[in-house]
Structure 1
């Protein structure tokens, strides 16, 4: 009888999970897909929108630019991340925790804040450009493809660093020692032995950074200027032609999703999860660098970590600078914060309210879905696990357009309300908690739960009183990271917000576009401070710095 009740309870949860994802993920995206093949005037099915995309030079350039800056940003991130991971894991140095902290700061800082910080330094009126100009040195502003690629590389290298650090630390040193005994030089050992062993980790990290690059909206929009990519083209078509040409915006969105899905499929085929099995029996021993090697190791390691953290540092410093419009004035003060506190509190309140509401829902739904994935394995739950990959690859702009198309009318007309932003954030960040809970459950024995049921607990009671307390750190860690990413959500919110539902990321973006750099700095510092506090809490709750972020 207990087994039957257990099956019935989780059957209902499974049905509810599918209804939720079908309503908030599959239906909105199918609406975009359907809109992409409909004629705007007649409503007839047509492939004209895709024909326009692949025959118009403007859109072909956008596709080319998307692939180019994504690939170049990926290459830069891989070079910086692998270099830093190798130095940190293979050499004994002081301050490794500090380097990891700086890297995590770069990781959790919103990409558009990084773009804004580099504008403050190297933009048309950037402080570094002005300083160099004063001594007769002229350099071009950061705007354009080169600037976008640089920001991508510096923003995304921590992903590569965290993933490949584990791989470097897991290589069996017996293989490297055998090559050394055969007279193989250190460089050859690295390329012939070490690199092939960690290649799956590098490829995983590389493809992840590529997906994140091509889905990024804020960086190309702020720094790219005349550089159009698919994400900015979709937003431009949507924002300038609402109700006039949704088909083209939808078609470009579908192209962007397809590119992301292709990359994810490549990633899943390349990854071999058992590549490091058994290697921890004889892990590498860090070398103590001496002489010029010590200078290089410390200089390169701290240099990469500090450059990655520059945006966050610059934002905090410049939030205290005196400003007059878009120009920073000599001296420091609290003028920007005073302006925020006395005139721009709504974005802060909205951000905290929307994030809290969405994350409470995420924690409840994510915990239940994570349990289904880990404990009720079947074809149906496997498909549920697979569909949770979709929010990772769907750009926020596309999700925003999908929600507008789905909820602008019909049975649930919530466009322009706080609810539509909360639901969009919910479905985009749900995988963080679901996968965190599933991972925690896979590392936990089922015996305690089975014992509780055998002693008369109902399946629901066993779940709440036995399972939840055991995996509570995983639940809270996933919830914290969902909260952090929800607070920093820009692209979907930029499509969905109205005046009364504006959030901090949207206000920061608009302030940068309007040249209000002091206001943007103060708001960004507040956002970074809240983010840092919750990331610290997530680290403390998870017990593993990498588990929460990957």
Structure 2
């Protein structure tokens, strides 16, 4: 009976479950254990948690994270929703280019946006100097809460825009026309008809923004100054605790895990209340507008699009400016920065980024295909659990995952700390959900009759899977894999904790150059990362045959 029950798919399920248990569940449990267990005294203790809540500095930091995240998410919706609606209803000149530019602004890492805005609105920024010189002011830059919210909002609203643009295709135009015939104004039609219909999409995209913003490390670290958030606190506490008592760092991480999971579950409960599907017999159509409405619509779209892409333009532009000591721009164009990073320095950080990323993507694609097929075609209690566990990295912040992996693999027999393998594992775990979700969606659309037909013609189940199912899955798999790849390129939260001198990546290099004040080098590294992301996006369009993204 055991031999009969131990099929190939059961073995694959157990192997993947073992992988998740070792590299996700075990490290997280270890963090929770270290937060409440005193190894020296050999007893349970809640002293670290008491210390966190006794000190105002610590629990205010938690509140800072929640406040930044809520405000940024709300502003992202306020910007993304009207923008998506205008591009869907009003014929905007160059709308295809506008959509691509908005997507490009999303795929760059948030910390590059923070660095670019420092160049513009920092204490010595171009715009800051202009404001102070022109209006005789003493504007001190956008550091702190306002700066963090600005960067994260501009980085996040494109995700809201992408999701809502897709949802608006399923809104039936007859509903809007009916509301118009009843005397509803344009704003009333949006608030009473459109928004209720796309509420599930707003909630889903808001959750993605919320989880991304609350876990962001680079932006508050670069632009926050005295305004600290939990990811920054975890990093600073952990780095100071290495070699000493790691319990407090683990306690902060445990609190953050509990908060993020709780917020995730609350959103899921709310989302279920608005869960329904739409099918548009008459999809919304873009109409040419005239007069003031046309001018305002074009103005809003163009201004928002320009501001969203401005950070990428800034880093590319400044990468070609000559610097003195790496900090002061002379205003002359030069290839000095590229000569420095490409010919006068070790190229390992650039090569590491591509090498580690490609290895991680190969693993992600294999795991994503197998999990998607198992959870859709071989549904049972174990595969359902597998599906749930695979989404844990989406909820667990990168800094927490980095600390968890250090705790788990800093001693024999699994000593991986500082190695390339632990970075690759972090990339796989962190970015796997993108590929799994897109792969699962495509498997659900493949009719089981296709497999049944192949089997009835004499093909084995394994041959059917590789010759029929996998080729049909590839569009969805590749779409998710490219999104995973783009996010791996800019992965900083886990990398900053796990990297060593031999495994430094582009994201870490950009961060360290900014911290050291080498802005010219940081711009050149950022430009390479941005161009790589754009080329990856173009590859996505080429492989999928689309000119837009449906995440």
The unaligned stretches of length 5 or more in structure 2 are none
1:514 to partner: Cα distance: 0.6
Query: Counterpart in 2 of 1:81?
Result: 80
1:521 to partner: Cα distance: 0.3
Within 1, Cα distance between the matches of 2:532 and 2:5?
A: 41
Cα distance change of structure 1 residues 114 and 40 upon mapping to structure 2, 3 Å threshold: farther
Query: Counterpart in 2 of 1:291?
Result: 291
Query: Counterpart in 1 of 2:392?
Result: 390
CA shift digits 1:211-235 (9 cap, x unpaired): 2111100000000011111111100
Within 2, Cα distance between the matches of 1:157 and 1:426?
A: 26
- Aligned counterparts, 1:263-412, within 5 A: 263-272=263-272, 277-324=277-324, 325-342=326-343, 343-412=345-414
Within 1, Cα distance between the matches of 2:110 and 2:375?
A: 31
Q: Check the 8 A contact 1:170/1:276 in 2, yes or no.
A: no
1:132 to partner: Cα distance: 3.4
- Aligned counterparts, 1:61-76, within 5 A: 61-76=60-75
Moved more, 335-344 or 445-454: 445-454
Query: Counterpart in 2 of 1:209?
Result: 209
CA shift digits 1:268-312 (9 cap, x unpaired): 223359856344112223232101111100010111111111111
Moved more, 12-21 or 466-475: 466-475
Question: What is the count of residue pairs matched by the alignment?
Answer: 547
Q: Check the 8 A contact 1:115/1:151 in 2, yes or no.
A: yes
Query: Counterpart in 2 of 1:220?
Result: 220
Aligned-residue RMSD, C-alpha: 2.0
Moved more, 280-289 or 332-341: 280-289
Query: Counterpart in 2 of 1:172?
Result: 172
Q: 1:541 and 2:540 equivalent?
A: no
1:509 to partner: Cα distance: 0.1
Moved more, 281-290 or 330-339: 281-290
Moved more, 32-41 or 96-105: 32-41
Q: Check the 8 A contact 1:125/1:327 in 2, yes or no.
A: no
Q: Check the 8 A contact 1:167/1:276 in 2, yes or no.
A: no
Query: Counterpart in 2 of 1:450?
Result: 452
Within 2, Cα distance between the matches of 1:200 and 1:254?
A: 30
Moved more, 174-183 or 372-381: 174-183
Cα distance change of structure 1 residues 246 and 454 upon mapping to structure 2, 3 Å threshold: same
CA shift digits 1:236-295 (9 cap, x unpaired): 011111031311111111221222212221222233598563441122232321011111
Q: Check the 8 A contact 1:85/1:164 in 2, yes or no.
A: yes
Within 2, Cα distance between the matches of 1:148 and 1:524?
A: 19
Q: Check the 8 A contact 1:437/1:474 in 2, yes or no.
A: yes
The unaligned stretches of length 5 or more in structure 1 are none
1:546 to partner: Cα distance: 5.7
Query: Counterpart in 1 of 2:153?
Result: 153
Q: Check the 8 A contact 1:40/1:247 in 2, yes or no.
A: no
- Aligned counterparts, 1:36-47, within 5 A: 36-39=35-38, 41-47=40-46
1:123 to partner: Cα distance: 1.0
- Aligned counterparts, 1:457-468, within 5 A: 457-468=459-470
TM-score normalized by structure 1?
A: 0.95
Moved more, 514-523 or 407-416: 407-416
**Would you identify which runs of 4 or more consecutive aligned residues in structure 1 move more than 6 Å?**
4-7
SS of alignment partner, residue 198 of structure 2: helix
